[in-house]
A and B are shown apart, each in its own frame.
Chain A
Amino acid sequence: MIPGAPGPVTLADQDAAALPFLADMYGLQLDQLTALLGLTSRQCRALVARWVSRQLVESGTLSPGPPWVWLTRAGLRAVGTRYPATPPALPRLAHLRAVTAVRLGLESVAAYRDGGAHWRSERHLRARQGGRVGGRDHLPDGEVHWPDTPSQGPAPAWAGECWAIEAELTPKTVARTAAIMREVLTRTGDYGCPAAQARVPGEPPRHARVVYLCSPAATGTVERARDALGSLAARVEIRALPYSAYLASAR
């Protein structure tokens, strides 16, 4: 039973799928939640209303477009996470939407599901950093882990790899972007590991490749940064952000 909730909380299938997703992604706009669950907008609103009535989520219009939904403390406890219960930060809304769109895009593909791939969110990585939050380590926007042997179907050629995912809406400098790429591609340890294990010469890199999803504005910078990487450039993949990644005002 959740303290403060009006009654015992039983998580239905949709809740079990959506609430951990919400927890990982900080918050979602209603259209993305609709896409995640495969519901109609009306059904999704009804579902969110039910969650709100159970004090699992809060909802509000934080940006142009559909309202945002994020987990309350009770909601975070219900899904077993210890993230701080805060609404999505206004300056990060566009970025959060873009990362969510990337994750939804990946998870909608059969090869991703058949390969048993797993998304580790930036929020998860940040939580693993624990007391070292605020350190100088760059955290990717997500990690995609491909198991060596998927539970069903043949393993893809890249089974066993871990990919770093970066969504770039606004361009940084080429030098800064190249530094981030190099940092991500040369890291050997998991996030939250002792500092001495973060980069061990001779150890295989943690991220086999980094996938950049770029807005048109950021594409040029990312491409130039990749070209500056030398041999590491072969491990950088660049693609365009899906159209649904942009806030309504930016489309």
Chain B
Amino acid sequence: MIPRAGTVLRVAARLVRVGAVLAVIIGLLPVALVAATGMAVAWRQGWRPARLYRAAGRCLPMVAVWLVGTALARHSLWPAADAPRLAWLAIWRHGDLLAAAVLTAPVAVPVGLLSAGWAWSRRLAAMAAGAGGRSPAAAASFDARQWRHQVRAARARIAAPGAVPLLTARGDFVAGAVIRAVGHPQAALTRLPADRIRSHQIVIGGTGTGKSTLLLRLWAGFMAAGLARHAAGVAGPPLLVVLDCKGGPDARRLADRARRVLREAGARNVAVWPDAACLSLWDLPPGQLVTTLVDLVEHGTGGAAYYTDVMEAVVTLAVEAPGGPPASAAGFLARLNNGWLETVYAGSAEQLQLVRSAARQLGDIGLRFRAVFRRLGAGLDGPGGLGAADAWYCILEGTAEMAVAEAQARALVDLLASYVTVPRRPARQVLLAVDEFSAVARRLPIWQLFERARSLGLGVQVSAQSWQGLAAREDDRYRLATTAEGGIWLLRTPYPEPLVALAGQRPAVDSSRQLTGWLRWSRSGSSRLHLVPVADPELVRGLDTGQAAYLHRGGVTFTQIKRLVAGAAALPAESARTRAPAGPTPATAPAAAPLPDVTGFLDEVFGSWP
């Protein structure tokens, strides 16, 4: 069978093209070798082409030195241009590969890297558009493979000692190594300006996804950056208040870890509430104290609103009595007494009338508050204030006692809001971090704080296990998410769509090709522009432990979080150990009285001892 003329011509043209390419490769073998190596490394490490271009750029000083050296030695630049020819002569005549490599390297390396960058960008573009690869699924498998390579490179980077500092020399916070960035700068490390970790942020991630590791790093970064700003005289000292709303032994372990990590970051004292430190609700201004006390008691609606009004009136009378507000829960409860109130308001007919009107309810109100204070415990009864420590880790038993945790959270947030509204020069840098927010979301209107906090210099960081855990209502969730100007951290979660949608969409090319045989494509097809999410929800759903997607301003950076090394976590001491005296009598008489227990103090300093 005689082939048609067209087929012969096409085959001939292809042979000529292949021959020309081979000639160029052989003629520029050093460049081709560098380019092939660059491509292989970029594929293996999951690099973007920009990294190869940057590498080529970094070779420019070598080229400049080589040119200057040649010009000075030979009084002409011609030998530089003639170097490749000389290299080939060295190979053909003497087989001296080393000499050839030295002669050609100054030109071959940068040109090869540029070529590799160009070829790699073509390859990535073709695969992203679905126009490359042998099989229809090639684009998807290429992307999945590149993701694995990028993850491996990021893990290697965070494993290198010293490669991922907590803060850069410029004071930026470093979360970890970049796996992949879309709409954000393609850098090796995920860097956030320090002011962003002082802003509102949201962290979403289920159990076992590395959320605690990320939170610890964010808190340590806030503390270290805040201390640096304070040392530079730019701002007041940092104050970190963590509300761990889950409670239980896990919270104690995390508190211990946080204490160690924060101390490594420079915090001089970290208070664990209520286990090792107290706060005083009674330090609130009287007006705020009335509101907080009334809110501590859960109210009904409808007819119950009447009792709420009565309670508020009675609490106001007790708190704003002449002589100042109460200093403790016991003092407050003692005031909920008809005789006491009538005595102190004896000179005011209007207040006295109020006392007499509420006389029948005073006993009930006293009972309710007695129950509330018993459940809240002594942690809010002082002494102590937020200013006494660099960081407060507050453990709320949200899992075991949700109602108590809600009341405690409410009181602690009121204390913090009151603390930050007092003008200070310079103002303290304050971050409120609410972990496992869903446990207290019902009665803690954090979105109100979110919207007002910036003017007070207060950053709020909310973390939850899921989108639904952010708030009880969809409106409130969106309110939180849209005001998180510090960004959103997404760890593995089964429903990332609402948050991913906030990152927006980007244009992408989708190509169709005609399959003409087994793994053979025609040369014709069509492409269309369409919008795809900036952050791929499937990637978020499949994130591994310790990986997070950081959403900010229409971009996403997938990050391998660098774990902060701290001392081993320790369980809290439930009670002081008792040791039975036995054995030989000491040479001198021991202290006559039993020694006071110092376990709490030593536990605070060095951690508990199992």
A interface residue numbers (CB < 8 A to B)? 34-35, 38-40, 42-43, 102, 105-106, 108-112, 156-158, 161, 182, 185-186, 188, 199-205, 208-209, 211, 213, 228-235, 237-244, 251
Residues of chain B contacted by A39 (CB below 8 angstroms): 231
Some 10 contacts from A to B, beta carbons below 8 A apart, are A38-B230, A38-B268, A40-B228, A108-B269, A110-B269, A186-B586, A205-B591, A231-B581, A235-B595, A237-B602
Chain B residues contacting A199 (CB-CB under 8 Å) are 587-588
Asked whether, in the complex, the Cβ of B606 is within 8 Å of the Cβ of A242, the reply is yes
Q: Could you tell me if A157 and B602 are in contact, using CB atoms closer than 8 angstroms?
A: no
The answer, yes or no, to whether B574 is at the interface (CB within 8 Å) is no
Cα distance, A235 to B606, chains bound together (Å) = 17
Smallest CB-CB separation from A241: which chain B residue?
B606
The distance in angstroms between the C-alpha atoms of A152 and B38, with both chains bound, is: 67
Cβ–Cβ contact B567 & A240, under 8 A: yes
- A228 to B579: give the CA distance in the assembly, Å: 12
CB of B72 within 8 Å of the partner chain: no
Residue B501 at the A interface, CB < 8 A? no
Q: In this assembly, does B102 line the interface, its C-beta being within 8 Å of a C-beta of chain A? A: no
Contact B596 A201 (CB under 8 A): no
**With contacts A35-B266, A42-B169, A230-B584 known, is A235 near B590, CB below 8 A?**
yes
Given known pairs A40-B231, A42-B169, A158-B595, the reply for A240 and B609 (CB within 8 Å) is yes
**Among candidates B263, B585, B595, B601, residue contacting A111 with C-beta atoms closer than 8 Å:** B601
The yes or no answer to B597 lying at the interface (CB within 8 A) is yes
Complex CA distance for A156 and B596, rounded to whole angstroms: 9
* B606 contacts A240, C-beta separation under 8 Å: yes
Contact of B582 among A42, A110, A230, A240 (CB under 8 A): A230
Instruction: Give Cα distance in the complex from A208 to B607, angstroms.
Output: 21
| Nearest CB in chain A to that of B230: its residue | A38
Does B264 lie at the interface of the complex (its beta carbon under 8 Å from any beta carbon of A)?
Answer: yes
Most-contacted residue by chain A among B263, B588, B596, B602 (CB, 10 A): B588
Summed over the interface, the residue pairs from A and B with CB atoms below 8 Å come to a total of 127
Name A106's closest neighbour in chain B (CB-CB): B605
Judge whether B598 and A209 touch: CB under 8 Å.
Answer: yes
Most chain A Cβ neighbours within 10 Å, of B266, B591, B605: B605
Q: Sort A-B residue pairs by CB-CB distance and give the 5 closest, nearest first.
A: A230-B583, A157-B596, A243-B567, A231-B581, A239-B606
A111 to B278, CA, bound (A): 13
Is there an interface contact between A231 and B227, defined as CB atoms closer than 8 Å? Answer: no
Contacts of B358-389 to chain A: CB distance below 8 A: 388-389
Given A110-B388, A231-B581, A234-B595, A156 and B601 contact (CB-CB distance below 8 Å)? yes
What chain B residues lie within 8 Å of A38 (beta carbons)?
227, 230-231, 266, 268
**Contact residues in A for B227 (Cβ distance below 8 Å):** 38, 40
- Report the minimum CB–CB distance from A100 to chain B (whole Å): 14
A83–B588 alpha-carbon span in the complex (Å): 33
* Interface: B428 (CB within 8 A): no
Contact of B160 with A by CB under 8 A = no
CA distance A110 to B169 in the complex (A): 31
- Provide the residues of chain A in CB contact with B231, threshold 8 Å: 38-40, 43
- Knowing A35-B266, A110-B389, A235-B595, say if A201 contacts B587 (CB, 8 Å): yes
Task: Say whether A209 contacts B388, CB under 8 Å.
Answer: no
Indicate whether B589 reaches chain A with its CB closer than 8 angstroms.
yes
Interface size of B by Cβ–Cβ distance < 8 Å? 44
A110 to B584, CA, bound (A): 38
Least CB separation from A206: chain B residue: B588
Please give, as numbers and ranges, the residues of chain B lying within 8 Å of A185 by CB-CB distance: 586
**B225 closest partner in A (C-beta):** A40
| B609: chain A residues within 8 A (beta carbon) | 238-240
Q: Do residues A243 and B606 form an inter-chain contact, with CB atoms below 8 A?
A: no
Of the candidates B169, B591, B605, the one whose C-beta lies within 8 Å of that of A105 is B605
Q: How far is the CA of A232 from the CA of B591 in the complex (A)?
A: 10
In the complex, A109 Cα to B228 Cα: how many Å? 20
User: A202 — which chain B residues lie within 8 A by C-beta?
Assistant: 588-589
Q: Out of A108, A188, A204, name the residue touching B263 (CB < 8 Å).
A: A108
Q: In the complex, what distance in Å separates the CA atom of A82 from the CA atom of B587?
A: 35
- Interfacial chain A residues near B565, Cβ < 8 Å: 243, 251
B539 within 8 A of A: no
Q: Is there a chain A Cβ closer than 8 Å to B252's Cβ?
A: no
Q: A108-B263, A201-B587, A201-B588 are in contact. Are A234 and B388 (CB under 8 A)?
A: no
B604 at the binding interface (Cβ < 8 Å): yes
| A243 x B260 contact (CB < 8 A) | yes
B346 to chain A, nearest CB (A): 36
| Cβ B598 vs Cβ A109 within 8 A | no
Q: How far is A35 from B390 in the complex, measured between Cα atoms in Å?
A: 14
In Å, the complex CA distance between A158 and B599 comes to 11
- In angstroms, Cα B598 to Cα A238, docked, is 11
Report B467 CB to chain A, min CB distance, Å: 36
- Alpha-carbon separation in the docked complex, A168 to B34 (Å): 55
Pair A188/B588 contact, Cβ less than 8 Å: yes
Whether B582 contacts A157 by the Cβ 8 Å rule is no
**Which A residue sits closest to B264, measured CB to CB?**
A244
225-244 of chain B: CB within 8 A of chain A:
227-228, 230-232
Given A110-B389, A243-B260: A203 touches B588 (CB 8 Å cut-off) = yes
